[in-house]
Amino acid sequence: MRQQTVYQLSIRQVLLIAFVAALFAAGGVACLNNFSNQIQHQSFAETTPEKATEEQPAGISDPQSVSDEQNNIEVYRSMSQGVAFIRTSSYQQDWYGNVEEGQRGSGSGSVIDAQGHILTNAHVVQDASKVTVSLGGEKVYPATVVGSDPDTDLAVLKIEPPRDHALTIVPFGNSDQLSVGQKVLAIGNPFGLDRTLTTGVISGLQRPIRGINGRPIEGAVQTDASINPGNSGGPLLDSRGRMIGINSQIYSRTGNSVGVGFAVPVNIAKRIVPQLIQFGEVRRPKLGVGTRSVSDLRGQGVRLPIESGLLIMNVYQGTAAAQAGLRGTSQTNYGEITMGDIITSIDGEKTDDPDDLYKILDKKQIGDTVSVEIVRDGRRTTVPVRLQPLPGSNRTTTTATPRRSF
């Protein structure tokens, strides 16, 4: 009895705080859109990812048949016209109600089809009220944000393609077939310097970085090619002129390049770009739960029956988890805590951290059935859950804040 009393007091102190945080998470869920029941894969520009991977840009010789200098020249000459100079601005209202132009920004992007779609970073167009694109020369095109995905820090813009000449399309390569030491080239607009070329090598693979909302982005490409403010969203190319990454982040204490840059793998873009163009968002399957890490709670003094896993704090109405009968943590009118299910794995993959849950679900599709192993009342059991989108509004915006709901 003595141990039971200590257990209830300890978990109450910690979980009451967690309940307050959960209220904010629940408010975020109310803003989530209705998804369709299955993911529709739409090819863009009548080019499948496989065809884009196989495409060889014209004007670029076999890198093994020319000097390194000549290869640099050919890649730049062939692909630079497909690199966009993106300028953004936001509008703000003063005390007198007058609307004036506020913060300005710039970045880079890649033309990915003949219809005028341009791939860039989500953070380049975040909070932008106005977006314009230059493809060289004095011509400036107004652009609209077709879709944005804060989880992967990718966005797609759209311009009306010029009638007097064809757009230069930057073809997709294959980021699953890269090697450390492989030559890469970056074209972008650092510090507003139009179409700057830098070269380097792949310094590392499978680096963990995070999107603008804190979500993990798996498998980032590390490079020593100089990347600076304004390069964001531009292409990281291989020696054949194919995009193998989207330059996104640098590691620096000064804000300028120190030779450690990161690019979002192009194969992630292949997966989500069709959805951004078709839906304006990425439609991902969700369980419909809010969780806390068991190891974190134990570190705060909460006594739990296992050492790792994810304690379900909330199960949201109408979600896959609710339909499968998963249980959240609750509190009685007398202040007693009833502990919810603890998720230990999904389809055999361990779930020790909320990031683990996100990574596992990101590989799934709406309609998939997964085996969720849980600990309930001290006993292990497995519950089949058919993944669904979260009910309600789920419109992805560039101003999204971090969520811990899955």
Mean pLDDT, the chain, whole residue set = 82
pLDDT band at 311 (very low <50, low <70, confident <90, very high): very high
Residue 305 is assigned to a structural domain of this protein: yes
Q: Which of 119-123, 279-283, 299-303 has the highest mean pLDDT?
A: 119-123
| Mean per-residue pLDDT, 196-207 | 96
pLDDT 10s digits, 89-140: 877 666 666 656 666 889 999 999 999 999 999 999 998 889 999 998 788 9
- Per DSSP, the residues of 328-395 read --EE-TTS-EE---EEEEETTEE-SSHHHHHHHHHT--TT-EEEEEEEETTEEEEEEEE-BPPSS-B-
Task: Tell me, yes or no, whether 228 lies in a domain.
Answer: no
Give domain status of residue 380, yes or no: yes
Q: Specify if 318 maps to a domain.
A: yes
Which amino acid is located at 284 in the chain?
A: R
| Both tokens assigned to 281 | 């968002």
Between residues 403 and 301, the one the model is more confident about? 301
Number of domains in the chain: 1
Global pTM?
0.73
| Residue labelled with tokens 């309600």 | 392
Asked if residue 339 is part of any domain, the answer here is: yes
CATH number, domain with residue 333: 2.30.42.10
- Residue 328 maps to a domain: yes
Residue for token pair 């304006």: 280
Q: Which residues are catalytic?
A: 123, 153, 232
Per-residue model confidence (pLDDT) at position 90: 79
Helix (H, G, I), strand (E, B) or coil at 116: coil
Going by pLDDT thresholds of 50, 70 and 90, the confidence category of residue 363 is: confident
Q: State the Cα–Cα distance between residues 31 and 271, nearest whole angstrom.
A: 25
How many other C-beta atoms can be found within 10 angstroms of the C-beta atom of residue 316? 23
Kindly report which listed range (148-162, 283-297, 388-402) carries the lowest average pLDDT score. Answer: 388-402
Residue 272 lies in a domain: no
CB-CB contact of 84 with 235 (8 Å): no
In a domain, 179, yes or no: no
Tell me which residue range forms the domain holding 319: 2-39+284-386
Q: State mean pLDDT over 160-166.
A: 88
Give how far the C-alpha of residue 106 lies from the chain's centroid of Cα atoms, to the nearest Å.
Answer: 20
